[in-house]
Protein backbone atom coordinates (compact mmCIF):
# COMPACT_ATOMS: atom_id res chain seq x y z
CA UNK A 1 0.00 0.00 0.00
CA UNK A 2 1.39 3.40 -0.84
CA UNK A 3 0.29 6.44 1.14
CA UNK A 4 -0.31 10.04 0.15
CA UNK A 5 3.14 10.74 1.55
CA UNK A 6 5.73 8.10 2.11
CA UNK A 7 9.22 8.35 3.55
CA UNK A 8 11.57 5.51 2.65
CA UNK A 9 14.85 5.07 4.47
CA UNK A 10 15.10 8.83 4.90
CA UNK A 11 18.29 10.12 6.48
CA UNK A 12 20.43 13.22 6.82
CA UNK A 13 23.76 14.04 8.42
CA UNK A 14 25.03 17.44 9.55
CA UNK A 15 28.78 17.00 9.72
CA UNK A 16 29.25 14.10 12.11
CA UNK A 17 25.72 14.29 13.49
CA UNK A 18 23.22 11.77 12.16
CA UNK A 19 20.09 13.88 12.72
CA UNK A 20 17.66 11.46 11.01
CA UNK A 21 18.43 7.87 10.16
CA UNK A 22 16.60 5.26 8.07
CA UNK A 23 13.15 6.69 8.70
CA UNK A 24 10.25 4.84 7.14
CA UNK A 25 6.74 6.16 7.56
CA UNK A 26 3.57 6.63 5.63
CA UNK A 27 0.74 9.16 5.80
CA UNK A 28 -2.52 7.93 4.33
CA UNK A 29 -4.99 10.32 2.76
CA UNK A 30 -7.52 11.64 5.29
CA UNK A 31 -5.43 10.75 8.33
CA UNK A 32 -4.15 12.90 11.17
CA UNK A 33 -0.62 11.67 11.85
CA UNK A 34 1.71 12.86 14.61
CA UNK A 35 5.48 12.68 14.63
CA UNK A 36 6.64 12.93 18.23
CA UNK A 37 9.85 12.57 20.21
CA UNK A 38 12.00 14.40 22.76
CA UNK A 39 13.69 17.73 22.01
CA UNK A 40 16.35 17.38 19.34
CA UNK A 41 14.98 14.01 18.14
CA UNK A 42 14.93 15.19 14.52
CA UNK A 43 11.26 16.05 14.01
CA UNK A 44 11.68 19.48 12.43
CA UNK A 45 14.51 18.09 10.31
CA UNK A 46 12.09 15.49 8.89
CA UNK A 47 9.64 18.27 7.99
CA UNK A 48 12.47 20.23 6.40
CA UNK A 49 13.38 17.24 4.24
CA UNK A 50 9.77 16.73 3.13
CA UNK A 51 9.29 20.39 2.24
CA UNK A 52 12.55 20.84 0.34
CA UNK A 53 14.36 22.98 2.92
CA UNK A 54 16.97 20.25 3.41
CA UNK A 55 18.07 17.72 0.84
CA UNK A 56 18.16 14.23 2.39
CA UNK A 57 21.52 12.44 2.31
CA UNK A 58 19.73 9.09 2.00
CA UNK A 59 16.33 7.71 1.13
CA UNK A 60 13.28 8.99 -0.66
CA UNK A 61 10.25 11.19 -0.21
CA UNK A 62 7.29 9.90 -2.24
CA UNK A 63 4.23 12.02 -2.89
CA UNK A 64 1.26 10.15 -4.33
CA UNK A 65 3.75 7.48 -5.34
CA UNK A 66 6.05 9.93 -7.15
CA UNK A 67 9.61 10.55 -6.05
CA UNK A 68 9.96 14.19 -4.99
CA UNK A 69 13.20 13.82 -3.02
CA UNK A 70 15.15 17.07 -3.11
CA UNK A 71 12.39 19.09 -4.84
CA UNK A 72 12.49 22.83 -4.13
CA UNK A 73 10.22 24.31 -1.44
CA UNK A 74 8.33 26.15 -4.18
CA UNK A 75 7.65 22.96 -6.11
CA UNK A 76 6.62 21.09 -2.96
CA UNK A 77 4.14 23.87 -2.15
CA UNK A 78 2.78 23.75 -5.68
CA UNK A 79 2.12 20.02 -5.26
CA UNK A 80 -0.32 20.84 -2.44
CA UNK A 81 1.91 20.45 0.62
CA UNK A 82 1.84 23.45 2.96
CA UNK A 83 3.46 23.93 6.33
CA UNK A 84 3.77 26.08 9.40
CA UNK A 85 7.08 26.74 11.12
CA UNK A 86 8.15 26.01 14.68
CA UNK A 87 9.34 29.61 14.83
CA UNK A 88 6.56 31.82 13.55
CA UNK A 89 7.23 33.36 10.14
CA UNK A 90 4.69 36.07 9.52
CA UNK A 91 5.11 39.51 7.99
CA UNK A 92 4.95 41.37 11.32
CA UNK A 93 3.87 44.75 9.98
CA UNK A 94 1.25 43.36 7.61
CA UNK A 95 -2.34 42.77 8.65
CA UNK A 96 -3.73 39.35 9.46
CA UNK A 97 -5.73 39.50 6.22
CA UNK A 98 -2.63 40.33 4.16
CA UNK A 99 -0.59 37.59 5.80
CA UNK A 100 -3.23 34.96 5.09
CA UNK A 101 -3.92 36.29 1.60
CA UNK A 102 -0.21 35.85 0.85
CA UNK A 103 -0.73 32.10 1.20
CA UNK A 104 -2.67 32.17 -2.10
CA UNK A 105 0.23 33.49 -4.14
CA UNK A 106 0.88 30.30 -6.08
CA UNK A 107 -2.75 30.14 -7.04
CA UNK A 108 -3.04 33.41 -8.92
CA UNK A 109 -3.61 32.46 -12.54
CA UNK A 110 -3.30 35.90 -14.08
CA UNK A 111 0.06 37.28 -15.17
CA UNK A 112 1.61 40.13 -13.24
CA UNK A 113 1.22 42.55 -16.16
CA UNK A 114 -2.51 41.95 -16.15
CA UNK A 115 -2.44 43.40 -12.65
CA UNK A 116 -0.81 46.54 -14.01
CA UNK A 117 -3.50 47.14 -16.56
CA UNK A 118 -6.20 45.98 -14.15
CA UNK A 119 -8.03 43.62 -16.45
CA UNK A 120 -11.49 42.45 -15.51
CA UNK A 121 -10.26 38.86 -15.14
CA UNK A 122 -7.56 40.06 -12.77
CA UNK A 123 -10.05 42.00 -10.63
CA UNK A 124 -12.39 39.02 -10.57
CA UNK A 125 -9.62 36.73 -9.44
CA UNK A 126 -8.50 39.19 -6.77
CA UNK A 127 -12.06 39.34 -5.41
CA UNK A 128 -12.31 35.56 -5.35
CA UNK A 129 -9.03 35.20 -3.45
CA UNK A 130 -10.09 37.89 -0.97
CA UNK A 131 -13.36 36.05 -0.40
CA UNK A 132 -11.52 32.79 0.12
CA UNK A 133 -9.20 34.50 2.60
CA UNK A 134 -12.16 35.88 4.57
CA UNK A 135 -13.77 32.44 4.63
CA UNK A 136 -10.65 30.89 6.17
CA UNK A 137 -10.38 33.75 8.69
CA UNK A 138 -13.98 33.10 9.74
CA UNK A 139 -13.34 29.36 10.03
CA UNK A 140 -10.42 29.93 12.38
CA UNK A 141 -12.14 32.67 14.38
CA UNK A 142 -9.71 35.29 13.10
CA UNK A 143 -12.18 37.56 11.26
CA UNK A 144 -12.35 39.99 14.19
CA UNK A 145 -8.61 40.63 13.99
CA UNK A 146 -8.39 40.64 10.17
CA UNK A 147 -7.17 44.25 10.07
CA UNK A 148 -4.79 44.04 13.03
CA UNK A 149 -1.07 43.94 12.37
CA UNK A 150 0.35 40.46 13.01
CA UNK A 151 2.94 41.83 15.43
CA UNK A 152 0.23 43.18 17.74
CA UNK A 153 -1.27 39.75 18.39
CA UNK A 154 -0.51 37.20 21.08
CA UNK A 155 1.80 34.35 20.16
CA UNK A 156 -1.09 31.86 20.27
CA UNK A 157 -3.16 33.91 17.81
CA UNK A 158 -0.16 34.38 15.52
CA UNK A 159 0.13 30.59 15.32
CA UNK A 160 -3.47 30.45 14.17
CA UNK A 161 -2.72 33.05 11.49
CA UNK A 162 0.07 30.79 10.20
CA UNK A 163 -2.35 27.89 10.13
CA UNK A 164 -4.85 30.01 8.19
CA UNK A 165 -2.13 30.88 5.69
CA UNK A 166 -1.55 27.18 4.94
CA UNK A 167 -5.27 26.49 4.53
CA UNK A 168 -6.09 29.34 2.18
CA UNK A 169 -3.99 27.59 -0.46
CA UNK A 170 -6.42 24.63 -0.33
CA UNK A 171 -3.61 22.12 0.21
CA UNK A 172 -3.87 18.33 0.15
CA UNK A 173 -1.54 17.98 3.13
CA UNK A 174 -0.70 20.42 5.91
CA UNK A 175 2.42 19.93 7.99
CA UNK A 176 2.22 21.66 11.36
CA UNK A 177 5.30 22.12 13.55
CA UNK A 178 4.07 22.48 17.15
CA UNK A 179 0.73 24.18 16.47
CA UNK A 180 -0.15 24.20 20.20
CA UNK A 181 3.05 25.97 21.29
CA UNK A 182 2.21 29.17 23.12
CA UNK A 183 -1.49 28.35 23.34
CA UNK A 184 -3.26 28.39 26.69
CA UNK A 185 -5.34 25.41 27.79
CA UNK A 186 -8.58 26.67 26.25
CA UNK A 187 -6.84 27.51 22.97
CA UNK A 188 -5.20 24.09 22.86
CA UNK A 189 -8.58 22.39 23.37
CA UNK A 190 -9.98 24.53 20.55
CA UNK A 191 -7.05 23.52 18.40
CA UNK A 192 -8.20 19.90 18.61
CA UNK A 193 -11.55 20.88 17.09
CA UNK A 194 -9.76 22.94 14.46
CA UNK A 195 -7.56 20.01 13.45
CA UNK A 196 -10.59 17.72 13.17
CA UNK A 197 -12.35 20.36 11.08
CA UNK A 198 -9.33 20.64 8.77
CA UNK A 199 -9.35 16.89 8.24
CA UNK A 200 -13.10 16.84 7.72
CA UNK A 201 -12.68 19.42 4.97
CA UNK A 202 -10.56 16.84 3.10
CA UNK A 203 -7.06 17.92 4.11
CA UNK A 204 -4.60 15.35 5.48
CA UNK A 205 -2.66 16.49 8.55
CA UNK A 206 0.90 15.67 9.66
CA UNK A 207 1.98 17.34 12.87
CA UNK A 208 4.77 17.59 15.38
CA UNK A 209 3.50 18.37 18.84
CA UNK A 210 4.66 18.20 22.44
CA UNK A 211 1.19 18.91 23.89
CA UNK A 212 -0.07 15.40 24.67
CA UNK A 213 -3.63 16.69 24.96
CA UNK A 214 -3.45 17.33 21.23
CA UNK A 215 -1.38 14.29 20.27
CA UNK A 216 -3.41 11.72 22.19
CA UNK A 217 -6.85 13.09 21.34
CA UNK A 218 -6.73 13.87 17.66
CA UNK A 219 -4.33 11.49 15.95
CA UNK A 220 -5.08 8.33 13.99
CA UNK A 221 -1.47 7.28 13.92
CA UNK A 222 1.65 8.27 15.84
CA UNK A 223 5.30 7.80 14.87
CA UNK A 224 7.84 8.21 17.66
CA UNK A 225 11.48 9.07 16.97
CA UNK A 226 14.44 9.46 19.28
CA UNK A 227 17.96 10.42 18.20
CA UNK A 228 16.71 10.46 14.60
CA UNK A 229 15.45 6.86 14.59
CA UNK A 230 11.95 5.50 14.75
CA UNK A 231 11.41 3.74 18.08
CA UNK A 232 7.67 3.04 17.90
CA UNK A 233 4.51 3.66 15.92
CA UNK A 234 0.82 2.93 16.22
CA UNK A 235 -2.34 4.26 17.83
CA UNK A 236 -2.24 6.70 20.73
CA UNK A 237 -3.08 3.86 23.10
CA UNK A 238 -0.34 1.56 21.80
CA UNK A 239 2.32 4.25 21.77
CA UNK A 240 1.48 5.62 25.22
CA UNK A 241 2.26 2.31 26.89
CA UNK A 242 5.21 1.28 24.69
CA UNK A 243 8.23 0.73 26.97
CA UNK A 244 10.68 2.28 24.48
CA UNK A 245 8.56 5.42 24.31
CA UNK A 246 8.15 5.67 28.07
CA UNK A 247 11.90 5.34 28.44
CA UNK A 248 12.68 7.93 25.77
CA UNK A 249 10.47 10.47 27.51
CA UNK A 250 11.19 9.60 31.12
CA UNK A 251 14.90 9.39 30.40
CA UNK A 252 14.91 13.16 30.09
CA UNK A 253 15.65 15.09 33.27
CA UNK A 254 12.84 17.62 32.94
CA UNK A 255 10.24 14.91 32.29
CA UNK A 256 11.47 12.89 35.24
CA UNK A 257 11.09 15.97 37.41
CA UNK A 258 7.55 16.49 36.12
CA UNK A 259 6.70 12.93 37.02
CA UNK A 260 8.16 13.21 40.53
Candidate ranges 71-79, 84-92, 163-171, 216-224; the one touching Mg ion (CB under 5 A) = 84-92
Candidate ranges 22-30, 71-79, 80-88, 117-125; the one touching Mg ion (CB under 5 A) = 80-88
Mark residue 37 as left, alpha or beta (left: phi above 0; alpha: psi -120 to 50; beta: remaining): left
44 is a site residue for Mg ion (CB under 5 A): yes
- Contact, 173 vs 83, CB < 8 A? no
CA distance 216 to 207: 12
Instruction: Write the burial class of residue 115 (CB in 10 Å: 0-12 exposed, 13-18 middle, 19+ buried).
Output: middle
Torsion sign, CA atoms 99, 105, 110, 114:
positive
Q: Which of 98/255 has CB closer to ligand ATP?
A: 255
Q: Which of 86/110 has CB closer to ligand ATP?
A: 86
226 is a site residue for Mg ion (CB under 5 A): no
No. of helices (H) and no. of strands (E), the chain: 11, 10
- Judged by CB under 5 A, the number of residues near Mg ion is 3
183 is a site residue for Mg ion (CB under 5 A): no
The DSSP symbol for 10 reads E
Q: What character string, x for contact with Mg ion (CB under 5 A) and - otherwise, covers 3-42? A: ----------------------------------------
Q: Which of 7/145 has CB closer to Mg ion?
A: 7
Query: Quick one: what does residue 39 bind among Mg ion, ligand ATP, none, with the CB cut-off 5 to 8 Å set by partner type?
Result: ligand ATP
Q: Which of 17/250 has CB closer to ligand ATP?
A: 17
Instruction: Write the burial class of residue 211 (CB in 10 Å: 0-12 exposed, 13-18 middle, 19+ buried).
Output: middle
Q: How far is the CB of 121 from ligand ATP (least distance, A)?
A: 43
Contact residues for ligand ATP (CB under 6 A)? Answer: 14, 17, 19, 37, 39-45, 86
CA distance 28 to 6: 9
Q: How far is the CB of 231 from ligand ATP (least distance, A)?
A: 13
Widest distance between CA atoms in the chain: 67
Residues that bind Mg ion (CB under 5 A): 43-44, 86
Amino acid sequence: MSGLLELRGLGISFGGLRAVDDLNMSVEEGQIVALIGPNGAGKTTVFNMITGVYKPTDGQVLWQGRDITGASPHRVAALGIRRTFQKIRLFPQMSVFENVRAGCHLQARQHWWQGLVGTRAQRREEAALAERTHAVLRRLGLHKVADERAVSLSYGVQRRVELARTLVAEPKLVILDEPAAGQNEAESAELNDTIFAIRDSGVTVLLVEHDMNVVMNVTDHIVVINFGRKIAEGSAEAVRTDPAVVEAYLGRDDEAEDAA
